[in-house]
Amino acid sequence: MLLQAAALSVLFCSVQSFTVQGPFGNGEEYSGNTVEDDEFSVSTLLEKANVNVGKNFDDPLVMFGDIAVPTDLQNADPCVERGCLWPKATDGNVYVPYRISRDYDERERNTIVEGLRSFAESTCIRFTPLNGQEDFVNIQSRSGCFSFVGRRGRGQVVSLSRRGCVFRQIIQHELLHALGFNHEQTRSDRNEHVRILLENVIPGMESNFRRIETRNLGTPYDYNSVMHYGRFAFSRNRRPTIVPIPDGNVAIGRATQMSATDILRVNRLYQCNSTASRPDLKPVQRNHFL
């Protein structure tokens, strides 16, 4: 009996100290995140929920994981050139009208509303119920989680499928897309902060790791951003697809809500006149606003 207990103890310790080998050569390895650790990362939730995206006739073209792309745009016009920001009101706030589909049950609707309200706690963004406005965010349960980037006009769909998308981090992630933000690992300076291992990516999913010329708004690269994919995003072989550099042990893509830098970027992009634009300050509570 004692021998069995000792054997189990050794086995447990071995599992706890397990390291994942990376294809770096010279025996280099990293410890920390495993595939199981990333089970509730934004990228894993998106990957699972978006298996059937595009199969419905009325779905828009969805690329880069969860970004809806207008089929009438033949060129990737810079967002700012087509006027994709939501307008600011005279009181300094940015009011974004929304409508939530009746397909959601009460618990799901409350979770979505709380996600909408979370922006008012620390930014000048105010999601408000639709009241006749022409442009609004139309939150529906489509075949996955996706959104257009920035204001597209009319009733632009933000899909939060009841099957896998109604989580706080996913709601904030898709709404940040709607406000004009791209994924963190696609930003222009990402090669200074992460290494993309395309040899481990599921064939056909390489576009999720493209690098684009983003407006970084004077903010640092943020491994903790709710817009950052996890270490094993779209992996075909349970090996990492994104590895931080120079320290490969840094946790990435594990956010359960917007980071201080996410909040800072929203406030800078929309020129919010708020102390919440300082990441060293705690978010201001303004629960009487959506």
User: How much is the pLDDT for 84?
Assistant: 87
In percent, the amount of the chain with pLDDT more than 90 equals 59
Better-scored residue on pLDDT, 43 or 125:
125
User: How much is the pLDDT for 76?
Assistant: 32
In percent, the amount of the chain with pLDDT more than 70 equals 66
Most confident of 19-28, 47-56, 250-259: 250-259
**Residue 173 assigned as binding residue:** yes
User: How much is the pLDDT for 69?
Assistant: 61
Q: 27 falls in which pLDDT band (50, 70, 90)? A: very low
Burial of 26 from C-beta contacts in 10 A (0-12 / 13-18 / 19+): exposed
b/e map 210-249, b = 16+ CB within 10 Å = eeeebbeeebebbbbbbbbbbbbbbbeeebbbbbbeeebe
**Residue 177 assigned as binding residue:** yes
Active site residue 174: yes
18-36: average pLDDT: 44
Out of 47, 174, 199, 213, the active site residue is 174
**Residue 288 assigned as binding residue:** no
Q: 51 falls in which pLDDT band (50, 70, 90)? A: low
Better-scored residue on pLDDT, 75 or 118:
118
Of 39-43, 132-136, 154-158, 286-290, the least confident: 286-290
Residue 112 has pLDDT above 80, yes or no: yes
Of 80-84, 112-116, 160-164, 181-185, the least confident: 80-84
pLDDT in tens, 179-214: 999 999 999 999 999 999 999 999 988 988 999 888
Better-scored residue on pLDDT, 79 or 129:
129
**DSSP result, 95-160:** EEEEEE-TTS-HHHHHHHHHHHHGGGGTSSEEEEE-SS-SSEEEEE--SSEEE-SS--SSEEEEEE
User: How much is the pLDDT for 5?
Assistant: 43
User: How much is the pLDDT for 103?
Assistant: 96
pLDDT in tens, 90-108: 999 999 999 999 999 999 9
